[in-house]
Structure 1
Amino acid sequence: MESSTEAYVYYDPTKQNAWVDAILNGLGPNKQRYYKVASLQLVTLLVIVIAKTEYFSAISEVETTSCAVGLMNMIGNKGGCAVRLRLYDSYLCFVVSHLAAFTNNCERRNQDFREIAKRVLFKHQSDPSLAYLSHAWNGGGDEGVAYLAHHGTVLDSSKQASVFHADHLIWLGDLNYRINLSEAEVKQRLAVNNYEELLDYDQLMIERRAGRTFPMFEEGPVEFAPTYKFDAGTDRYDTSAKRRAPSWTDRILWKKPILGREGLTQLNYNNCMAMMLSDHKPVQSVFRAQIRELNRQKQSATRRALQQQLTETPEEMAKGTISSSFIEFDDVQFLEYKEKTLVLENTGQVVAPFYFLAKLDEAQAIPPWLQVSPQQGLLGPGEKILLQFEIMIDASVSAPFNQGQELSHILILRLENAKDFFISIRGNYQRTCFGVPLHLLSPMTIPSVNAEASLTSPPERRKHLLQSAKTTLANPSDPPGSVSPSSSSSSLSTSQQANLPKELWRLLTFLWNKNMLTLPNLFLEHGDRMICDYIRKCLDAGDTFDPSILLGEEEDQTQEAVGANSVIDVLVAFLECLPEPVIPTQFYAEALAASDAPDRIKLLKDKLPPLYRNVLLYITSFLADAIQYAPAAVKQDRRSCIVSLFTVLLRPDLAYKETNPALAQLKKEKLISHLLSIA
């Protein structure tokens, strides 16, 4: 796939179709015996699954998904595409990924693996005939699923599946792990085909042995030459000025099987030196897989026999106990993962089903901010089961808690033919500025953590703010003192600050000066997660930023860039978490239409509520200055990244059905580009 800067931002489906056609045409006379099961493109990444037509009726539940882990975990120059499918009664998953580049970015590659593994989730409908599979995956016996739980991934296993919820998982692509030797040292060993010694310095081998990346995967013997980097169109290693050291960047790994199960058998693993299209040489592998096919007749007969055995058991009421009726999460931070457990025991003499029951006035048994696993099951006499309760308040559910709703709920756990158990779930949510609507955050003069008085006491105050917000959205007339920013400003005036949430003003003020805007790597790299967390806590508590933490103790452009990019990370996260985006959802369709007619953009801006219009003007003016003051060598790259990143300024309502997501993304980017041009 093309890897130019423009390719990171714009998606062209014709290239995906061209690759599919090329693969099928490459099969020659056998082309008619094969068909495309699925394909998915994420900018420069593409995964395609081809199968024989004889398996058409045996393949079902085909799902595709992707996740970007490039700049801000949003730009698709790095990330993963995945396909999950069911073949007969086995699940297969294929992940294609492109991880962070450069020799010194080993930890970043490890982090990219973790992010892709955590964030690639598929839709999944449980099949009762394969319930034992779900138990094996989610009951702690699968190393991959346990890895996700350890790293804070929360998923509803009755509706979602991770890449590890598969009988066979193959992960391949440009993993970008390098060799920890100089170019000369690598080529010296290659001259005598000394692969074994080179592999001792291979970063992927080193990191896997240490358990820092791909810990649950296997790789076959690497007995072929490094696949990167070549002079394009040749089999000659890089002779350009950069002279990259040859490395095995392109790899194929597969997940170890669960103990006692048949896994994959690798029959071949090699590179393709004859391919000359790229500065990489492709790798290829052939596997043999054991595929499950259930005997439905035997399964039904066994079920009937068990049912008969149960009905012949003397009637007796089920009995049970739970270890506690209270789940206390204590203080809960925004985006913080917490888990608690309790034990349900069947103390009776009969088999007893259990499940969670919705209250009469509620549609769901479990609130959206809580995950419970398992949610249903069957307990034999004397059997116990551990119920896990997981909580993580993200932007999709945080709004009511930031507005004063208590973090509490009563769950009803039913043990069939026994009494119901009532489980009290409680936590103390620590309010944050993230996930609070602009019209509630803007008039707030105290830190978010102390916002209880503003949002919940007295109730009339909260009601007034909500009513004020509705009036604001309905009446777009300018309030007294409303101002617009100037793109030549290096900071915001006091009157301008009054029209911004104080948290947004603080972020922009830190960045909006020539020292920051002229940093070469601004917007082009990630910040530091610990610094991002520090910034978020400062915003919530109203604490002053410590320059030594953000910029370092001494004048150091590298540390300054890390601090500045951390602030940008937080800025984008703040905008992404807004329940109502800067361009409100009611204007989404009009905004997309304006992307093709720049003369309509002014009309669109005039329709926005004053607060939202001012926020949009401040942000686009800042971004225009960020592009203007960018060093010439990175100006175009910075502009491309900004355009893609700040599509977070608009999004549709949750109920909106996007007919062409790729085209919509392109239109959003065009709109942002126009807004920057006229800021």
Structure 2
Amino acid sequence: METNTEAYLYHDPTKENTWVQAVLNGLGQKKQVYHKATSLQLVTMLIIVIAKIDHQQYISEIETRNCGVGLMNMMGNKGGCAVRFRFHDSYFCFVTSHLAAFVANSERRNQDFTEIAKRLVFTQRSDKLTGYVSHSWNSGGDEGVAYIEHKGGVYDWTTQASIFHADHVIWMGDLNYRVNMAEPDIKAKLNQNKQQELLDYDQLSIERQAGRTFPMFDEGSIQFSPTYKYDPGTNQYDTSAKRRAPSWTDRVLWKKFGEQNKSMLKLLSYSNCMEMMLSDHKPVQALFEAKTRHIDEQKQISTRQNLVRQLIETKDNLTKGQISTSFIEFGDVQFMEYKEKTVVLENTGQVVAPFRFIPKMDESQVFPAWLQVTPEQGILGPGEKTVIQFEVMIDASISAPFNERKQEINDILVLRLENGKDFFIVISGKYIPTCFGVPLDSLAQMTIPIQEMVGSSNALDGTLRRSDANNKSPTSNSVNGGQGHQQANLPKELWRILTFLWNKNMLSMDTLFLDHGDRVVSDYIRKCLDSGDSFDTSILLGDTTDDQETKKGHNDSVGANSMIDVLLAFLECLPEPVIPTSHYSRALAASDSDEHVKLLKDDLPPLHLNVLLYIISFLNDAIKYSPSACKQERKQHIVSAFTVMLRPQLGFKETNPALAKLKKESFVRRILNL
């Protein structure tokens, strides 16, 4: 899967479709009897459900979800994808994830597991036909449901379903847990065929036994060699300078069953695939035998017909209903902040009441892009109620018009009862602008923090209008434009970020650029940038007392890498990247020529050129002052991460994504003179 920067923000189904076809083609002559039930991609993660065509009629309620737990807890470089569906009358949930890397990050991997388990939430559909079934999750006895509630998750299980609201849960992927032993010792044990001794030091097994991660899951006995890390194209463990230690990073686990239900799922085989040579990992495969529930269809049809007959004979055939409120107020909504409200719809009549949301007059869309509503439609029996959930979150893909005051959290939804009345639900809220997702031109013209400008709408509107004018006149000089307002050479937010990092002590840290920061610290930094508040060094750098020197060094690293995370997120959220989208093809073409790079720089808008040169200067110093032991690794991370400075226009399709990725990295190397 692609790891290029725009893959974190924009979905391109090309690779996903290619893999789906590859899986189907791998079935050979049996391909004709299988089909894709669903698939979902999140950057480097992809989950595909392939089923027999004969089973298609029995698969329903298919839902997919993903969540990123990477940069600032929102980017998809790390995270999880899940699919939940009903097969006959049992629910299956499959999760694939890519957790934090590096040996020392075991605790971070535990946190990633918890975050993914909490945030992958599906729609819980009320089904009276199966309401008699005593599922573990609706009898208060499910360990997984109790776990996410204990970890601070707040849910309404009448309308929501977690990954644990399933009869069968399979969790798989690159979990990245390592072996707590030095690389030479691990290889020595493997050469002596003492693999089972190594498993005593396996981090995932240790953390599971301690109850710190995956406590509600089981795993089969591992009888295969470590799946990581190999020289690509070989069965030889890593011989590069990094010499990554062999580990069982790739795993398949399943949700535990009680003693009475252990026969519900049986593991038939669990192994790796040593013949696969495409990656530095060896894939794992697991084969299960699962039991499912089946409804007696004849009794179901008979019961349904009797109910319909009774309803037809009812005297009062009018659809009637009521809602708990017609007004939903979200209040203040921050960037990347999730908020939800609910409305209760009740069938007060004597007949079945189908309901659905419909578009307003002369509009095609039912809901605005910033609002999700669940369920969008349904059927209520007499006296039944349902909770309708309204969710709002302004993320990087839609924040620009909100920051530019071109869009507001304001809408009216129409909820229709078939053969009954329409309800009008008013949605309102106040978006708190952020510097993330604002064009560079606008930020550079703001002399005060963006949240202070909100109080003066005329000032903010004027700034944005001037920014629009500049964008429409790319040849105008932003410094001597004669408009009465002088544009700064740099956005102050970018200056604050780099000023914090740009000193020899920071740049000399071993782990700078190599680890992620803390999501809470990153959120604190963003709020300071938006409000203009000074950075609190006790938060970013930790305690400075002499007796905590080791802890301080760790906190310094966390604070610095949190600032790096914020810098990358800031650049990723720009509506127009540092290298404008109009220059994207030229940049790729210039990746092998210093002369062409110089010509491209000369043609950049002045502000974009200033920003580019400022970032280049910072990155050159970051490489210059990096410790010799990690200099090469830091270079590679910088080159890969800062391809964020260029991306194509939305909707652009790469003919060769792998080649484009290499060209972008080559372009970054060339502008850094590496």
Mapping for residues 95-174 of structure 1, pairs under 5 Å: 95=95, 97-101=97-101, 104-114=104-114, 169-174=169-174
Distance 1:172 1:526, change over 3 A: same
- 1:548 paired to 2:538: yes
- 1:479 paired to 2:480: no
Mapping for residues 278-427 of structure 1, pairs under 5 Å: 285-290=286-291, 310-404=311-405, 405-427=407-429
Distance 1:180 1:474, change over 3 A: closer
Distance 1:599 1:203, change over 3 A: same
Stretches of structure 2 lacking an aligned partner (at least 5 in a row): 4-13, 481-485
Residue of structure 2 in register with 1:252 after alignment: 252
Aligned Cα root-mean-square deviation (Å): 5.9
Per-residue Cα deviation, 1:282-309 (whole angstroms, up to 9, x for no partner): 7654311347899999988887776565
Residue of structure 2 in register with 1:219 after alignment: 218
Distance 1:544 1:401, change over 3 A: same
2:512 to 522, 527, 534: 522
Residue of structure 1 in register with 2:522 after alignment: 532
Aligned-partner Cα distance in 1 for 2:42–2:347: 49
2:445 to 423, 443, 446: 443
Per-residue Cα deviation, 1:522-547 (whole angstroms, up to 9, x for no partner): 11001122221221121111111122
Distance 1:620 1:62, change over 3 A: farther
1:468 deviates by 2.3
1:395 deviates by 1.8
Residue of structure 2 in register with 1:605 after alignment: 601
Letter in 2 for 1:424: V
Aligned-partner Cα distance in 2 for 1:64–1:311: 38
Stretches of structure 1 lacking an aligned partner (at least 5 in a row): 4-12, 483-495
Residue 235 of structure 1 contacts residue 273 of structure 1 at CA under 8 Å; is this kept in 2? no
Residue 478 of structure 2 contacts residue 487 of structure 2 at CA under 8 Å; is this kept in 1? no
Aligned-partner Cα distance in 2 for 1:162–1:243: 39
Aligned-partner Cα distance in 2 for 1:355–1:41: 29
Aligned-partner Cα distance in 2 for 1:596–1:236: 33
Aligned-partner Cα distance in 1 for 2:75–2:368: 32
Query: In structure 2, the residue corresponding to 1:586 is in which secondary structure?
Result: helix
Residue 513 of structure 2 contacts residue 638 of structure 2 at CA under 8 Å; is this kept in 1? yes
Residue of structure 1 in register with 2:9 after alignment: none
- 1:559 paired to 2:555: yes
Distance 1:90 1:323, change over 3 A: closer
Residue of structure 2 in register with 1:452 after alignment: 454
Residue 367 of structure 2 contacts residue 413 of structure 2 at CA under 8 Å; is this kept in 1? yes
1:591 deviates by 3.3
Aligned-partner Cα distance in 1 for 2:648–2:366: 28
Distance 1:41 1:343, change over 3 A: closer
Query: In structure 2, the residue corresponding to 1:476 is in which secondary structure?
Result: coil
1:388 deviates by 1.6
Aligned-partner Cα distance in 1 for 2:334–2:622: 32
Aligned residues: 641
Mapping for residues 234-253 of structure 1, pairs under 5 Å: 249-253=249-253
Letter in 1 for 2:608: Y
Residue 227 of structure 1 contacts residue 282 of structure 1 at CA under 8 Å; is this kept in 2? no
Letter in 1 for 2:335: F
Letter in 1 for 2:435: C
Aligned-partner Cα distance in 2 for 1:147–1:435: 35
2:490 to 500, 503, 506: 500
1:50 deviates by 8.4
Residue 75 of structure 1 contacts residue 645 of structure 1 at CA under 8 Å; is this kept in 2? no
Residue of structure 2 in register with 1:568 after alignment: 564
Residue 118 of structure 1 contacts residue 153 of structure 1 at CA under 8 Å; is this kept in 2? no
2:433 to 406, 431, 452: 431
User: TM-score by structure 2 length?
Assistant: 0.73
- 1:633 paired to 2:625: no
| Higher mean C-alpha displacement, 528-537 vs 70-79 | 70-79
Residue 517 of structure 1 contacts residue 626 of structure 1 at CA under 8 Å; is this kept in 2? yes
Query: In structure 1, the residue corresponding to 2:378 is in which secondary structure?
Result: strand
Aligned-partner Cα distance in 1 for 2:629–2:586: 35
Letter in 2 for 1:417: N
Aligned-partner Cα distance in 2 for 1:594–1:132: 62
Aligned-partner Cα distance in 2 for 1:508–1:24: 50
User: TM-score by structure 1 length?
Assistant: 0.73
Distance 1:480 1:546, change over 3 A: same
- 1:266 paired to 2:262: no
Distance 1:302 1:663, change over 3 A: farther
Residue of structure 2 in register with 1:10 after alignment: none
Aligned-partner Cα distance in 2 for 1:466–1:408: 21
Per-residue Cα deviation, 1:592-648 (whole angstroms, up to 9, x for no partner): 343355543333333332222222222222223222332222222212212222222
